[in-house]
Amino acid sequence: MDQLTLSKILMKAGDLPSLPFVTSRVIQLTDDPKWTPGEISEVICQDQVLASKVLKLVNSAYYGLPRRIATISEAITILGMKTVRTVVIGASIHKALNSIKGKRAINPEKIWRHAGACAESSKMLAKKLGIKQHEQAFMAGLLHDIGKIILNSLLHEEYSHVLDLVETGNCTVIQAEIEILNTTHAEIGKMVAEKWNLPATLVEPIGLHHDPLCRCENNDLVQIVHMADSMAIMAGYNSTGIDNVSPDSAVLEKWGIKHGDFRRMSEEMKGNINIEFI
């Protein structure tokens, strides 16, 4: 990473909020096999915004329950802890990153819209390909571009030049980031994810989704997010104006997916986005 770019980011690191205590505690508790719904509920209820997000999701039309759910403990029983953990982490990081003040090169909601499509695509691919980590795939897809949110907020002038180069230089965002910043949103995202002590199932897809053949502990999740990133763009959910991004052919071959089938799956994603908790 270019030291000047890193220095600018670190200089403005005070603008990066810490992950809320409630979120960190939920991650910690759910990593312990002895957790109970009552313990998790007690922690979530300390943050009214997060509690409302959980209740909003469980009472949404997506679940179609015959009566309204009013308590977090009951919501945990219905949704399952993996889904509640996803809601808490996703909503917390969305709130934290969107609280950064200043100008933007891209409307942040365009990035989150793409992230939502990537999350849904990741979960769909995980199910189709027999990967059991459905919720981890969803969350990794949702957070894969947090580095882009950060660069867009803290280095908006430089990131405007990145977008200009993408438009005029017929290159990808990653290529333009390296040319202008000598780093990438994936590297920055990985750095922040580690700062927040997020699990490796999230850190590795965030940092390596543009390098899917790199060996790591969670390579399947990295490759799922890599494919889902392209799938979301092909489905029309894009944040930077590029619509010619294709997944690595070697990755598709590994999973036995033909390019034509991949495009058809991308078509399935149109209109299939549900991120009400954000």
Instruction: Give the highest mean pLDDT range of 17-21, 99-103, 234-238.
Output: 234-238
- With 0-12 / 13-18 / 19 or more C-beta atoms within 10 angstroms meaning exposed / middle / buried, residue 120 is buried
Of residues 241 and 10, the one with the higher pLDDT is: 241
State pLDDT tens for residues 112-137. Answer: 888 989 999 999 999 999 999 888 89
pLDDT of 18 strictly over 90? no
The CATH architecture that domain 1-15+103-278 belongs to is Orthogonal Bundle (1.10)
| Site of tokens 């986005």 | 273
pTM of the predicted protein model: 0.84
pLDDT of 194 strictly over 90? no
- Average pLDDT of the chain? 84
pLDDT of 4 strictly over 70? no
Q: Is 233 in contact with 114 (CB distance < 8 Å)?
A: yes
Task: Tell me the C-alpha distance between 167 and 241, whole Å.
Answer: 8
**For residues 93-107, average pLDDT:** 76
- For residue 164, report the phi and psi dihedrals to the nearest 5 degrees: -60, -40
**For residues 251-264, average pLDDT:** 93
Among the listed residues 2, 16, 12, 1, the one whose alpha carbon sits nearest the alpha carbon of residue 155: 12
Cβ contacts of residue 105 below 8 Å, gap of 6+? Answer: 152, 156, 157, 159, 160, 162, 163
Q: Between the CA of residue 48 and those of 27, 38, 55, what are the distances in Å? A: 18, 16, 10
State pLDDT tens for residues 48-63. Answer: 888 888 898 888 866 7
DSSP for 245-276 reads: ----HHHHHHTT--HHHHHHHHHHHTT----T
Copy the structure tokens of residue 234: 């092909």
State pLDDT tens for residues 234-252. Answer: 888 887 766 557 899 999 9
Looking at residue 231, its pLDDT comes to 92
Region(s) of the chain under CATH 1.10.3210.10: 1-15+103-278
**For residues 88-97, average pLDDT:** 83
Looking at residue 113, its pLDDT comes to 87
Task: Tell me the C-alpha distance between 206 and 188, whole Å.
Answer: 9
